C-alpha cells in the first residue's frame, strides 16, 4: 500500500518508518527543506533510540522516501496521514489547528484518486468534521474519506509502542475507510494487537482522555508523596501497595517532580478548553493541571530547604534536563522551572544531560552546561537528580562526595536508597520517603 505521511516530526517520522518496516511504501513530506536534506543523510531531527537504524534500513530497501513535494506525494497515495503539530495556542490554551487545516487544504487540492485521509495529529473532538468540511470545499468531487487514528507513542520507546501497541484506535463509520485501515494495520492485528473501530468523535476523545487519566495518576502519587513525607510513610511502599491492585496497576505511580513533555501539558489544557466550550467541566483534570504546574517550582524550594534554606552564591548541579530519559525533548520539562527557581534564589546552576543539552540551551538561560555528571558536580554545594537517565543510576557516590563542596544529594526520582547514600556520608533528600 502507498502511504504518504505529512509531517516528519516525532509522530510522522516514527510512524512512517514503522509502516515502511511493515512492507508498505511510504513517502514522508515536510515543508522544511533542510530537515528533508538531513533525513536524506540519515540525520534524525529528534533523538529516539533505534530510529536512525530503522530509517536507514527502509530507505536502503526502497520503501521509505522523503520529499518537500506534497503534490507528487499525494497524487499516488492510497492513504494520507496528517501528522503535523498541534501546540497549545498562545493566549488561551486551545489546540492550534492551523497546521492541520493548512495541510488538509494542500492535500485535498492535490488528490487524484480515491483516498483515505487519516488524522494522526492529536486534535480536539470535532476536528474531523471540520477537516471533512474543508475537503468538500476544496475538492467537492473528490472521493475522500476522513478518519481519526490517534497515536499512543511514548518518547524513548516509540518504535516498540508502534510495533507492539496496546490498541489501535480508528475512528470511522465508512465501510471503505474501515477496509483500507484494516489493510494498513494488518501486520499488527495478525499479531493480535487489538484493532478498535469507533465513531470519529469517540476516537478523537480517546486520545485526550487517555493522556488526562495518566496525568491524573502521576499527580495523585505526587500528592501522596507529600503526604508520606508529612506522616513518615514511604511513597514507594504505598505505590507498590496500591499498584498491585489490578484495578489500579503500577504504571505511572512513580513520585517525582511532575510531568512534562510534548503531550500531557498541552493535551490536558486542550481537554479543559473543549470541556469549557461544551459546558461539561472536568474538575479533576483542572486540579491536575494546577497541581502539576505548582509542583515544579515546589521541587526547587525542596532543593533550597535541603541546602539549609540559603543558596545565594552557591552552585547547584542538576543531572538530567529532559522531561524523561531517552529523549532530547525539553518541552515543559520540570528542570526548566526548577532551574529558574534556584536562579531566582541567587544560586548558580550548572547542568548536564546525555542528550538534551542543545535543546536545553534554547530554553534555559543563565545556566552553565557540563560535559558529564562528574564535571557537573565538581565544586557544587548540592547535586540534584532531576531526570532518571540510566547513567545516573550507578554513580560513584564516594567520588561524588569527594568533589562536592558540600555533601548534599537531592534525588527527585528516588533512584537510590537512603541507607546506601547515607553510609557514604552524603546528606540525602528524596521524594515521599519520610
Same domain, 57 and 157: yes
Q: Regarding beta strands 427-429 and 367-369, do their DSSP bridges make them parallel or antiparallel, or are they unpaired?
A: unpaired
Same domain, 157 and 295: no
Q: Answer yes or no: are the C-beta atoms of 48 and 327 closer than 8 Å.
A: yes
* pLDDT in the model for residue 434: 77
* pLDDT in the model for residue 292: 97
Other beta carbons within 10 Å of 418: 15
Same domain, 143 and 277: no
Whether 179 is covered by a domain: the verdict is yes
**At CA 306, angle to CA 304 and CA 308, rounded to 5?**
75
Same domain, 184 and 327: no
Tell me which residue range forms the domain holding 334: 264-429
- Of 313, 315, 318, 314, nearest to 364 by C-alpha is 318
Cell 493566549 found at: 91
- Of 49, 85, 165, 81, nearest to 331 by C-alpha is 85
CA-based torsion, 173, 179, 180, 185: positive or negative: positive
C-alpha cell at 14: 516514527
Active-site residue identified among 28, 145, 263, 376: 263
Whole-number Å distance between alpha carbons of 52 and 47: 9
C-alpha cell at 21: 518496516
Same domain, 270 and 171: no
252 φ/ψ sector (left φ>0, alpha ψ -120 to 50, else beta):
left
CA 63 to chain centre: 27
Question: Is 263 annotated as catalytic?
Answer: yes
Number of domains in the chain: 2
Whether 234 is covered by a domain: the verdict is no
Same domain, 296 and 375: yes
Same domain, 300 and 405: yes
* pLDDT in the model for residue 13: 98
Helix 283-306 crosses helix 264-277 at what angle (to 10 degrees)? 150
Same domain, 289 and 406: yes
Whether 237 is covered by a domain: the verdict is no
Those residues whose C-beta lies under 8 Å from the C-beta of residue 27, and which sit 6 or more positions away, are 2, 3, 4, 5, 65, 66, 67, 73, 77
CB-hemisphere CA count at 13 Å for 195?
17
Q: What does DSSP assign to residue 433?
A: B
Residue 12, H or E segment? helix 10-21
Same domain, 188 and 337: no
Same domain, 128 and 44: yes
> What is the block-wise mean pLDDT of the chain (434 residues), using blocks of 10 residues?
96 98 97 97 96 98 97 96 92 88 96 96 95 96 96 95 95 97 90 88 97 98 98 97 97 97 93 94 97 97 97 98 96 97 98 97 96 98 98 97 98 96 96 92
Same domain, 276 and 424: yes
Domain containing 29 — which CATH number?
Answer: 3.40.50.720
Q: Regarding beta strands 382-385 and 144-148, do their DSSP bridges make them parallel or antiparallel, or are they unpaired?
A: unpaired
What does each C-alpha distance from 177 to 143, 174, 196, 240, 272 come to in angstroms?
A: 11, 5, 13, 43, 31
Q: Answer yes or no: are the C-beta atoms of 318 and 349 closer than 8 Å.
A: yes
Same domain, 41 and 189: yes
Q: Answer yes or no: are the C-beta atoms of 213 and 249 closer than 8 Å.
A: no
Q: Which three-class secondary structure state does DSSP give residue 348?
A: strand
Q: How far apart are the first and last CA of the chain?
A: 57
Whether 148 is covered by a domain: the verdict is yes
C-alpha cell at 6: 505529512
Amino acid at each position: 500500500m502507498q502511504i504518504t505521511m505529512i509531517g516528519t516530526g516525532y509522530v510522522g517520522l516514527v510512524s512512517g518508518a514503522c509502516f515502511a518496516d511493515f512492507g508498505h511504501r511510504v513517502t514522508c513530506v515536510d515543508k522544511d527543506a533542510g530537515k528533508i536534506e538531513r533525513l536524506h543523510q540519515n540525520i534524525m531531527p529528534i533523538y529516539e533510540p533505534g530510529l536512525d537504524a530503522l530509517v536507514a534500513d527502509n530507505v536502503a530497501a526502497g520503501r521509505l522516501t522523503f520529499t518537500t513535494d506534497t503534490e507528487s506525494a499525494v497524487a499516488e497515495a492510497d492513504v494520507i496521514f496528517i501528522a503535523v503539530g498541534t501546540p497549545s495556542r498562545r493566549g488561551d490554551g486551545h489546540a492550534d489547528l492551523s497546521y492541520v487545516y493548512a495541510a488538509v487544504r494542500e492535500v485535498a487540492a492535490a488528490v487524484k484518486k480515491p483516498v483515505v485521509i487519516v488524522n494522526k495529529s492529536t486534535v480536539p473532538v470535532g476536528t474531523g468534521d471540520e477537516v471533512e468540511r474543508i475537503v468538500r470545499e476544496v475538492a467537492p468531487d473528490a472521493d475522500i474519506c476522513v478518519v481519526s487514528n490517534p497515536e499512543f507513542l511514548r518518547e524513548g520507546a516509540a518504535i516498540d509502542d508502534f510495533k507492539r501497541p496496546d490498541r489501535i484506535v480508528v475512528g470511522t463509520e465508512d465501510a471503505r475507510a474501515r477496509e483500507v485501515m484494516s489493510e494498513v494495520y494488518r501486520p499488527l492485528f495478525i499479531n493480535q494487537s487489538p484493532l478498535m473501530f469507533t465513531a470519529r468523535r469517540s476516537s478523537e476523545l480517546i486520545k485526550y482522555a487517555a493522556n488526562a487519566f495518566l496525568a491524573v495518576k502521576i499527580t495523585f502519587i505526587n500528592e501522596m508523596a507529600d503526604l508520606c513525607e508529612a506522616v513518615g510513610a514511604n511513597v514507594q511502599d504505598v505505590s507498590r501497595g496500591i499498584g498491585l491492585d489490578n484495578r489500579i496497576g503500577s504504571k505511572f505511580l512513580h513520585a517525582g517532580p511532575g510531568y512534562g513533555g510534548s503531550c500531557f501539558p498541552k493535551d490536558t489544557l486542550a481537554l479543559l478548553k473543549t470541556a469549557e466550550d461544551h459546558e461539561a467541566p472536568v474538575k479533576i483534570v483542572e486540579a491536575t493541571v494546577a497541581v502539576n504546574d505548582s509542583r515544579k517550582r515546589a521541587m526547587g524550594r525542596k532543593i533550597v530547604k535541603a541546602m539549609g534554606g540559603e543558596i545565594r552564591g552557591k552552585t547547584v548541579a542538576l543531572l538530567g534536563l529532559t522531561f524523561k530519559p531517552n529523549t532530547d525533548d525539553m518541552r515543559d520539562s520540570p528542570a526548566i522551572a526548577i532551574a529558574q527557581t534556584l536562579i531566582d534564589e541567587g544560586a548558580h546552576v550548572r547542568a548536564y544531560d546525555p542528550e538534551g543539552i542543545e535543546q536545553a540551551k534554547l530554553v534555559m538561560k543563565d545556566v552553565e552546561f557540563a560535559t558529564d555528571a562528574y564535571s557537573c558536580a565538581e565544586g557544587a554545594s548540592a547535586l540534584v537528580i532531576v531526570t532518571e537517565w540510566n547513567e545516573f543510576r550507578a554513580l560513584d557516590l564516594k567520588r561524588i562526595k569527594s568533589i562536592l563542596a558540600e555533601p548534599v544529594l537531592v534525588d527527585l526520582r528516588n533512584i537510590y536508597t537512603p541507607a546506601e547514600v547515607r553510609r557514604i556520608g552524603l546528606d540525602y533528600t528524596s521524594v515521599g520517603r519520610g
